[in-house]
A = this chain, B = another copy of it.
């Protein structure tokens, strides 16, 4: 996986395609959100449970570069790695078409933690992420 620490394979669903016959861009945001949440879940962290504890990781800033559109029937792999930058966790999330691994999306997702309504930090998230953070 190289620099990537987590990956998830998915398949385009036809309802995600719009009248141009390609996946509507907003769905890539869904794909990468689902990948982050599944990464958290694989580490034992449930997004829904965090919310019940008053901890809401939210996206502060998002950059997406669209390379090749996915189409009906395409399979793809969604990969991520992350960095810490002050209070922010920055996820680098890339999507590649299968089986040719053609780049589909390159994205950077800056997330912050809202704890009890204010910008904060979550010890649970930090301990989860720290093994994956580069020094």
Q: Does A17 contact B (CB under 8 A)?
A: yes
CB pair A47–B14 under 8 Å, yes or no, is yes
Copies in the complex: 4
CB pair A17–B14 under 8 Å, yes or no, is no
Question: Which residues of B sit under 8 angstroms from A34, Cβ to Cβ?
Answer: 13-15
Contact of A58 among B27, B33, B59, B66 (CB under 8 A): B66
Q: Does A79 contact B (CB under 8 A)?
A: no
A18 to chain B minimum Cβ distance, whole angstroms, is: 6
Give the complex CA separation of A66 and B29 in angstroms.
Answer: 14
Question: Interface-forming stretch among A67-75, A86-94, A126-134?
Answer: A67-75
Residue positions of A touching B, CB distance < 8 A: 13-15, 17-21, 24-27, 29-30, 33-34, 37, 41, 46-48, 51, 56, 58-66, 69, 71-73
